[in-house]
Amino acid sequence: MNDPSSGNYTFRMHLEGYPQMKAADCSTIDFRPVRFVLNPDGTIRLLTWYDQAKNWTFSQYISVLLDECDPYGLCGTYGSCDLTRPQSGRSACECLGGFVPKFPEKWKLSDWSGGCVRADQLTCESEDRFEKTPNLKLPDTHNAWFNRSMNLADCETECRKNCSCTAYSNVDIRQGGTGCMLWLGDLIDMRNYLDNGLPLYVRSSSQLGVNGSSRKKGGVKIIAVVTPAVVGVLVLLGLYLIYVFRNRKLRSKGLMTFKPDNDSGNKEEGEDLELPLIEFELIAKATNKFSLNNKLGEGGFGPVYKGTLDDGQEIAVKRLSKTSKQGLDEFTNEVKCIAKLQHRNLVRLLGCCIEDGEMLLIYEYMPNKSLDVFIFDKELSVSLDWPQRYSIINDIAKGLLYLHQHSRLRIIHRDLKAGNILLDHEMSPRISDFGLARSRSFAGNESAVNTVRVVGTYGYMAPEYAIEGLFSVKSYSYSFGVLVLEIVSGKKIRQFYNSKDNLNLLGHAWKLFNDGEFLDLTDEAMLESCKSSEVLRAIHIGLLCVQPYPQDRPNMTMLDSENELPLPKQPGFFTRAECNRVQSLHLTTLDQI
């Protein structure tokens, strides 16, 4: 029998992350309701929680969109729709506590699609607060992780350990609330209720007070601290002036160098780890006073500018932003990691500047920007044929092999992604952005180390690192595997989703590989130039690298050989449902966190 109601609209359960119902027009999500039950008579009824009666009450569901707040993502990220108060002079959308509109002028015109951004950047440290917002429709759970056995206190502890965790709440609000739900990304599609909503605990900056206002110290404490501080400043002022005068004389003679502290345990390596200091005035001149026309982009460290020195050499300048999550530690770490690294597939650091509160890193200029600019753009992707992409994959592997085995410092890059692969004038890749990297000498049989601060980009992080904070050389094998599949497919790991099979990019690639349809994964822009045997090997290696367990992933030496490869197992899915498997995975590792 033919379907009498075929059309573009679908209403179904989405299993990625935590299961939820969504109504969509083709691939565009229109509506995400609270909770529904499909009755035997075929009607869909809305469940409403009544606190006094302590039960759920059914009401006939008549219209898909009940009111102005129901369209999916109406208020953008970190925005919540609120119709609970009189609307005179108010917009329907409001930002969560500690957030402000991303585009204030558009917000005033009731265009809320841009959402909200943080008023103050997070430091991802133990001082971060969690702002409770009551009576909410909880955000879309496509990027959520849950555990039914944890309580709310455990949930906060788990979220605080992971820099990617933006909010948490109970899975079940009955009996005082049980279970734990973590959101590992942007929060979207929320609304306020007068009552019967759910509480959400949103990560906030330690610099904000209860309602997003700056916290102030007590006046008595300030007085107690100021007096000895002033005395100390006066004592040190003379020494400081002598130090500044001496440094200026050295700098004028070109003798100043930057020597970061060495914590690798190898004194010999740290003694000659120095880098030329370049005057701020020279850098400002080279970048036309950091003109917007010279701005190349912006990352976690801060903005990046193109500059030209007096001798005609082109440079790229990373300037630490005042609101950056990164600071002196990351600055020093980047200098320490790459000042003495010499490899054609690593970006070259030319010098740095630490002057009057400014911190800048000066690199060789890469004219073709970053890899993501090409592979994720429909027009530019045609300029990268398969031979070029295959060469880029191999060169990145060579750079990682150098970092892992052949460099003086054993470096683990904790934020390997397409945006951190720069391309020179010959389209050869250069691995960049070592601010979050770790230099480590693994002692004896030590294969991994633990870190209390999980940093990086969600989607590229290995399971054991994102959840347990354990990182090793096998952790960036996982990131490399994700990157390989992105290069082959031209699809972003955090944006691709196969709704038919409820698979993300990793799951989709694994299914096509097993079905013998691996060519269907390749970017259409390079189909005519691709060599099937090379494409198959690249996908094969990519799938081996994204295995859920580190011991199943290949070493970088395997990537550089032509030996026969083992068959890959099912990848480690992070945004795909498989709720029972994901839940059991987390349960077995929680005690190790």
Query: Would you state the pLDDT for residue 352?
Result: 86
Q: Are residues 381 and 253 in the same domain?
A: no
In the chain, the number of structural domains is 3
The Cα–Cα gap between 58 and 35 comes to 10
Q: Are residues 434 and 553 in the same domain?
A: yes
Query: Would you state the pLDDT for residue 578?
Result: 40
Q: Are residues 351 and 383 in the same domain?
A: no
Look up the CATH number of the domain holding residue 580: 1.10.510.10
Backbone torsion region of residue 496, taken as left when φ is above 0, otherwise alpha when ψ lies between -120 and 50, otherwise beta: beta
Quick check: is 155 in a domain? no
DSSP 392-421: HHHHHHHHHHIIIIISSS-EE-TT-SGGGE
Q: Are residues 376 and 327 in the same domain?
A: no
The Cα–Cα gap between 458 and 436 comes to 14
Q: Which two tokens stand for residue 366?
A: 């890469």
Q: Are residues 356 and 379 in the same domain?
A: no
Q: Are residues 121 and 262 in the same domain?
A: no
Beta strand residue intervals within 152-269, DSSP E: 167-169, 180-183, 190-192, 198-204, 257-258
Q: Are residues 525 and 404 in the same domain?
A: yes
* pLDDT tens, the chain, 593 aa long: 444 456 677 777 777 766 766 767 776 776 565 566 665 555 566 665 555 666 666 554 544 556 778 888 899 999 999 887 765 556 689 999 889 999 998 888 888 989 999 888 777 766 788 999 998 999 998 888 888 888 899 999 999 888 889 999 987 776 667 889 999 889 999 999 887 788 999 998 776 554 444 444 344 344 445 556 666 776 677 666 655 555 554 454 443 455 555 443 333 333 444 678 889 999 999 999 999 999 988 876 788 999 999 999 999 998 887 665 555 666 676 676 667 677 889 888 888 888 877 888 899 999 998 999 999 998 999 999 999 999 999 999 998 888 877 776 667 777 889 999 999 999 999 998 765 555 554 444 445 555 556 677 888 888 888 877 787 878 878 999 999 999 999 999 988 877 777 788 999 999 999 999 999 999 999 988 999 999 999 999 999 999 998 989 987 666 666 778 889 998 876 444 443 333 333 332 322 22
Of 364, 395, 419, the one marking the end of a domain is 364
Quick check: is 1 in a domain? no
Quick check: is 290 in a domain? yes
Q: Are residues 477 and 582 in the same domain?
A: yes
Q: Are residues 67 and 116 in the same domain?
A: yes
Of 349, 364, 379, the one marking the end of a domain is 364
Crossing angle between the packed helical segments 505-514 and 532-545, to the nearest 10 degrees? 130
| Annotated catalytic residue 186 | no
Query: Would you state the pLDDT for residue 300?
Result: 65
Crossing angle between the packed helical segments 473-489 and 386-401, to the nearest 10 degrees? 170
Quick check: is 219 in a domain? no
Quick check: is 437 in a domain? yes
Asked if 110 and 97 count as a contact pair (C-beta separation under 8 A), the reply is: no
The Cα–Cα gap between 256 and 247 comes to 7
Quick check: is 309 in a domain? yes
Of 308, 333, 364, the one marking the end of a domain is 364
Q: Which two tokens stand for residue 39?
A: 């009755």
Q: Are residues 414 and 553 in the same domain?
A: yes
Quick check: is 515 in a domain? yes
Quick check: is 268 in a domain? yes
Q: What residue has token string 């580190």?
A: 550
Domain range for 561? 371-592
Look up the CATH number of the domain holding residue 335: 3.30.200.20
Phi, psi of 245 (to 5 degrees): -60, -45
Q: Are residues 282 and 396 in the same domain?
A: no
Query: Would you state the pLDDT for residue 50?
Result: 56
Q: Are residues 376 and 344 in the same domain?
A: no
- Give, in order, the Cα–Cα distances in Å from 198 to each of 27, 75, 104, 358: 28, 18, 28, 44
Query: Would you state the pLDDT for residue 423?
Result: 95
Query: Would you state the pLDDT for residue 355?
Result: 84
Catalytic residue, from 189, 415, 433, 523: name it: 415
The Cα–Cα gap between 284 and 456 comes to 30
